[in-house]
Amino acid sequence: MLLEINDLSVFYGRIQALHGISLTVDEGEIVTLIGANGAGKTTTMRAISGLRPAGGGKIIFEGKDITSVRADLRVVRGISQAPEGRGIFVGMTVMENLDMGTYSRKDRKSAAAKVDLERVFQLFPRLAERKTQIAGTMSGGEQQMLTIGRALMAKPKLLLLDEPSMGLAPKLIQQIFAIIKEINQQGTTVLLVEQNAQQALSVAHRAYILETGSIVKAGRGADLLGDPAIKEAYLGVA
């Protein structure tokens, strides 16, 4: 088991955003969390990455309790996030952004880091073409590619992707999800938060459905994709 969350609760002041959720992610999987706005998807990701403290429960990574471990040390352990809203360094170049992704690596100047950079450029040829471009002048799709590429430069064991399709045109959405599948096939475990349930369930091995801070359903991605209740609630099919 790579990631195990047991009875996790998270609060914003007096407001409880997560109500004792439990989930697992096995090594080599794509697992997705889907749900409406306000369901608790991003809060879950923030808790796993250490950006939001747990109000109860445990987060276990590679068999070790990381519930109280600082966010930067979770990156060192192998958890890297491409956050909602991209969060790139808009005044820096593409290359400078990618280099920031290696800050936690002791081998950031080594040949191994160069191999990982080439991997990013193979996944996202557009980034290779625009290495010297200021990131803030790129299109939304290009910025999303950069966000994922930067996260990959940390050489994660677990890649957290928060709403990677947000604001993108349909053609770009298909491209991003094809790349997510390729990243996984290359050996990186992925936990994906996504409102585009159709795309998310299509690539996920397993999925959890979140509603108002609670997990209400779980199963194989393909099974949930064919579930009439899921179709009606999340896929716009009655």
Q: Three-class SS string for 171-191?
A: HHHHHHHHHHHHHHHCCCEEE
- The answer to whether the CB of 147 falls within 8 A of the CB of 83 is yes
pTM: 0.93
CB atoms within 10 A of CB 141: 18
3-state secondary structure of 137: helix
Residue in 37, 64, 66, 63 with CA at minimum distance from that of residue 50: 66
Predicted confidence at residue 236, as pLDDT, reads: 64
Please report, for residues 122, 177, 182, 219, the alpha-carbon distance to residue 48 in angstroms, rounded to integers and kept in the order given: 28, 22, 23, 21
Percentage above 90 pLDDT, the chain: 84
What stretch of H or E contains 10? strand 3-12
Beta bridge partner(s), residue 224: none
How far is it, in rounded angstroms, from Cα 60 to Cα 54?
A: 12
- Judge whether residue 237 has pLDDT over 70: no
**Residue 30 buriedness (CB in 10 A; 0-12 / 13-18 / 19+):** buried
Segment 51-62 mean pLDDT? 98
Residue in 14, 76, 5 with CA at minimum distance from that of residue 46: 5
| Residue 63 confidence class, pLDDT cut points 50, 70, 90 | very high
- The answer to whether the CB of 57 falls within 8 A of the CB of 9 is yes
Tell me the residue length of the chain.
Answer: 238
**Mean of the per-residue pLDDT values for the chain?**
94
Predicted confidence at residue 154, as pLDDT, reads: 95
- The answer to whether the CB of 205 falls within 8 A of the CB of 30 is yes
| Residue 233 confidence class, pLDDT cut points 50, 70, 90 | confident
Query: pLDDT by residue (tens digit) across 73-94?
Result: 999 999 999 988 778 999 999 9
- The answer to whether the CB of 130 falls within 8 A of the CB of 94 is yes
Predicted confidence at residue 238, as pLDDT, reads: 44
Beta bridge partner(s), residue 219: 207
Query: pLDDT by residue (tens digit) across 108-154?
Result: 888 888 999 999 999 999 999 999 999 999 999 999 999 999 999 99
Rounded to a whole number of angstroms, the distance between the first and last alpha carbons of the chain is: 36
Predicted confidence at residue 115, as pLDDT, reads: 93
